[in-house]
Structure 1
């Protein structure tokens, strides 16, 4: 009955408006011109008011208040805290720190890191943070996997998003069942805001799911058959009325089926889908997707040859021959491949390199000066009996990469994903948890472990349990770890 009354009311009003317009026109012999509202990017903001009319940006974020939306701003003049340091190089972008002091060299400015008001859930004392072995890192907060996902779920990949408008920090935690979104701004009181179910829940769970972020959107792929890519507008996390909510995607891209991983170059606005089916056009090689409009991905090519994982950057390193080029470094099972993907219709292999005792060439990351590439081999610990091994290549000449050194950790555990921030290499090390390795001495072939947090206390053996991924890029200094059995851990360097 209420629905009928509401419909009748609006029908009456509409009839009155149409009648009024008809009378107005009949009283005036001149025709009435229609009002045309142009919204080129279909984001709900008229072009006349849109600070980025060519790329969808319904939140109208404009970090540097220059009238150009962040999605369109290519002038690289974002300085959110107005301290004279651009956000892309500021080691504490939300708190003014023009001196950029960073006493421990971890890439996080003192202004962000030294926060005495934060009381850990379990401080690291005498080698333990509650039930977890540790060195120099406290446990701030924890959400078990059976809270993040359905009963029986297992954790896998993770990533993070810092809201450019509010400064809040969010963990994006994948599992066999889907993706959970957690507000970790207060790390000791993390809040599960909601979950996005897998694109094909009828096919059951899948242990391989990956998520990355671009332009305030999450992009999610999985090795579940016919999963495609889910796109989720992260600005929706600002207004969650009754957490945890059951989210739906804002867009579902079905131009490919399954994929192991997604890689995004945030400078160019391209996503690279890797680890897909070997029976498709590119045989599991990178697929190039233009995601500059996140809700309208466009495929622009690819390169054949299976790639398990990759990093893609806009190159500004020591090899002047490739200045400004878009460079993909693929970890391709039995070698590392360096590829120029600037021209999406004609990618060019620059060089490849292998190394001794190859198990499975899994994943790697550039140092910040782009002189070195740090690689993890996922199965050499099992196949050759060595301790955790990290391989470092000299990439100062992309045409002629050379082996630089091996680093062996203190345990037998398998290494998984590793990332660089400042002078620290952050390594998710399965049963040995997450390890923190000082790489400031790489020029002299020196790497030293300076801390760890063990999310899997019962064993450090070479088995596939424990820490899957670590995300160290929050401005606050909070670090998130996704663990297969343990769920989400939020840790922080001890004061």
Structure 2
């Protein structure tokens, strides 16, 4: 030990003599190099000679003599907080400060010793993320969620609440797999495992839930089909993460852009399938009442990029109890009665000004209005984020109601309604919360936001892909292309 101290002292003296030389330069008119001796990790070894600059290792142990301290050799960092897993007191949840109030070796954020969010929204920022009235509870990077093959990115997201336990789970789609994360404790999410793709890597993977099963499709990868996964298997995971296999694979189609489910009827609708197929990419009707034995029952001609299907309970008495499909079909919105799967009927269609790409939309809860996002109008026409609202009180005669323009030029993607809030994933502008309580009067107002992509609000395809706002807990899960899963909650 004495030899080690003497060696460190000699090294420190040498470093001082080298680094301080510019301070005593005799040329009065030359700028002085104010070199600072840093010890970033506070272990008594200055950075210039420290073999592991960011983590305390005063003994400088280097068993394999590779010039990198042992503490930095084992540098896997699951939560990407800058602290390697082997010394992180909470390796699955970002906590760069390593706060451990009771000194038991487990970080406060993993013990639940505080109800405070990971980053409260204060002064317009939640840690590194711009915000308004929404706190960051936790973040799980896409590098954790996805299979390591290629350069994975995030795509769709959905949620499942276990009816037996009340636990809440995030189902996060990525370019090469679908991840399952227990988010019951939003401060301490647990990555349980993933289900790998059934056919290749792609940028569009979508997932929905019915009867405790996940249904997963992918676009642009040929024979993928529809994977079916029994979510109750997540109850039995004791040593995560697990590499899961599917419980069924429906292969009557290959590629599909999205999967839509009416949980009231037990039907799934695969949309955006092959344009050369029997329904030209229109919705395929799949009976999933027995989830692991899906049965095809026809389809509806005409390419649909996305859709919502409901058992109608709105203001138009002519269609009460009917199964109604609202298709976002590239250049128009189509309203169809799909109750009789052998004889689907178009009720009406509607378009609008400055069409870029009719992408996705959602009913208000009273079904009076349909809120639509056009994915490329910001690019084509130079407007800020535009949200189009239609009056659907008469399904035979839908009409344009109002345009809402957001505060940024970002592209809107997926949006969902819960109560009087429209939750809009807006790529580079993150998640935007829009108050629709005065929608009848033509007034929509942004009530909050959480920006998962702080680099910019540019008109480009980065950032927040989708959102699931339906957990009873009030926690909201967001999928981000580059950054993975965010769990946020409205500020108290």
Matched, 1:285 2:282: yes
> Shift of residue 242 of structure 1?
1.4
> Shift of residue 118 of structure 1?
2.8
SS in 1 for 2:466: strand
* 1:179 aligned residue: 178
Per-residue displacement from partner, 1:416-456 (whole Å, max 9, x unpaired)?
A: 00000000000000000000000000111000000000000
- State which of 337, 344, 352 in structure 1 corresponds to 2:334: 337
**Is residue 434–residue 447 contact of structure 2 (8 Å, CA) maintained in 1?**
yes
Structure 2: distance between partners of 1:486 and 1:422:
28
* 2:188 aligned residue: 189
Structure 1: distance between partners of 2:230 and 2:367:
32
Write the mapping of 1:140-155 to structure 2, written as runs, cut at 5 A: 140-151=137-148, 152-155=151-154
Structure 1: distance between partners of 2:203 and 2:166:
31
Structure 2: distance between partners of 1:482 and 1:216:
21
Write the mapping of 1:11-410 to structure 2, written as runs, cut at 5 A: 118-151=115-148, 152-200=151-199, 203=200, 205-223=201-219, 224-410=221-407
Per-residue displacement from partner, 1:301-321 (whole Å, max 9, x unpaired)?
A: 101110000000000100000
Structure 1: distance between partners of 2:293 and 2:206:
20
Structure 2: distance between partners of 1:234 and 1:150:
19
Structure 2: distance between partners of 1:393 and 1:450:
21
- State which of 398, 403, 418 in structure 2 corresponds to 1:421: 418
> Shift of residue 119 of structure 1?
1.6
Max Rg structure: 2
> Shift of residue 150 of structure 1?
2.7
Structure 2: distance between partners of 1:391 and 1:425:
12
Structure 1: distance between partners of 2:231 and 2:116:
28
Structure 1: distance between partners of 2:313 and 2:158:
25
**Is residue 136–residue 488 contact of structure 2 (8 Å, CA) maintained in 1?**
yes
Per-residue displacement from partner, 1:102-137 (whole Å, max 9, x unpaired)?
A: xxxxxxxxxxxxx99632010000000000000000
Structure 1: distance between partners of 2:160 and 2:126:
26
Structure 2: distance between partners of 1:219 and 1:381:
32
SS in 2 for 1:383: helix
Per-residue displacement from partner, 1:328-367 (whole Å, max 9, x unpaired)?
A: 0000000000000000000000000000000000000000
Q: TM-score w.r.t. structure 1 length?
A: 0.76
* 1:16 aligned residue: none
Unaligned runs of 5+ in 2: 1-111
SS in 2 for 1:238: helix
Structure 1: distance between partners of 2:251 and 2:147:
25
> Shift of residue 249 of structure 1?
0.2
Matched, 1:485 2:475: no
Per-residue displacement from partner, 1:164-209 (whole Å, max 9, x unpaired)?
A: 1100000000000110000000011110000000011xx3x10010
Q: 1:357 to 1:238 in 2, by over 3 A?
A: same
SS in 1 for 2:203: coil
* 1:472 aligned residue: 469
Structure 2: distance between partners of 1:475 and 1:117:
21
Structure 2: distance between partners of 1:328 and 1:159:
20
> Shift of residue 241 of structure 1?
2.1
* 1:36 aligned residue: none
**Is residue 147–residue 196 contact of structure 2 (8 Å, CA) maintained in 1?**
no
Unaligned runs of 5+ in 1: 1-114
Q: 1:346 to 1:189 in 2, by over 3 A?
A: same
Write the mapping of 1:451-470 to structure 2, written as runs, cut at 5 A: 451-470=448-467
Structure 1: distance between partners of 2:326 and 2:313:
14
Structure 1: distance between partners of 2:254 and 2:115:
44
4+ residue runs over 6 A deviation: none
**Is residue 308–residue 326 contact of structure 2 (8 Å, CA) maintained in 1?**
yes
